[in-house]
C-alpha cells in the first residue's frame, strides 16, 4: 500500500488535459493515503488548512509551497491569513483530480510536518 510518504517521494507530473479526472473511488483511495487533514470539498478539490503561530510563519509556508509548485509546474490555490494557510488543489486542465494533485498535497504535508 502506498503511504503519504511514498506519495511525497514521487515525481509530480502535471496533467496537460485529454484524460478523465479520477473517479470518486480512486480519489478516496489516494485521499486515505494522504493521512489526516486533507478533505475533498464541495467542488471535489483537495483542501487542507494548516495552522501556524503567526502570519509570518503562514506566509513563509505558502512561499515554500509556491516554490515546489513552480518547480513541478503544478499550481494550487493558496489562502493566507493570520496563523493559517489553506491549500486547494485540483487539475485545472481536466477540471477535476489527477494523481499529481495527491502527490503535490503529500509534498506540502511533508513540508509542514518537517517544520519547514
Q: Which residue has the cell 515525481?
A: 11
Tell me the C-alpha distance between 56 and 80, whole Å. 10
Q: Is residue 60 within a helix (H) or strand (E), and if so which, with residue range?
A: helix 55-72
pLDDT at 13: 65
- Answer with the residue of higher pLDDT: 17 or 90: 90
pLDDT-derived band at 7, boundaries 50, 70, 90? confident
C-beta atoms surrounding 54 within 10 Å = 10
Mean pLDDT (whole number) for 43-64: 97
As to burial, measured by CB atoms within 10 angstroms (0-12 exposed, 13-18 middle, 19+ buried), residue 56 is exposed
Residue bearing the bigger pLDDT, 9 or 1: 9
Residue 80 near residue 62, CB atoms below 8 Å:
yes
Rounded to two decimals, the pTM is 0.88
- The grid cell for 10 is 514521487
Higher pLDDT, 82 or 74: 82
Indicate if the pLDDT at residue 10 is higher than 80. Answer: no
Q: 34-113 architecture in CATH?
A: 2-Layer Sandwich (3.30)
- With cut-offs at 50, 70 and 90, classify the pLDDT of residue 12: low
Amino acid at each position: 500500500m502506498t503511504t503519504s510518504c511514498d506519495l511525497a517521494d514521487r515525481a509530480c507530473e502535471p496533467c496537460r488535459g485529454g484524460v478523465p479526472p479520477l473517479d470518486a473511488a480512486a480519489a478516496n483511495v489516494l485521499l486515505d493515503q494522504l493521512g489526516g487533514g486533507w478533505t475533498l470539498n464541495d467542488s471535489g478539490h483537495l483542501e487542507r488548512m494548516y495552522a501556524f503561530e503567526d502570519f509570518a510563519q503562514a506566509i513563509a509556508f505558502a512561499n515554500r509551497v509556491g516554490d515546489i509548485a513552480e518547480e513541478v509546474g503544478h499550481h494550487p490555490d493558496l489562502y493566507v491569513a493570520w496563523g493559517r494557510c489553506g491549500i486547494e488543489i485540483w487539475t485545472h486542465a481536466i477540471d477535476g483530480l489527477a494523481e499529481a494533485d495527491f502527490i503535490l498535497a503529500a509534498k506540502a504535508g511533508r513540508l509542514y510536518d518537517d517544520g519547514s
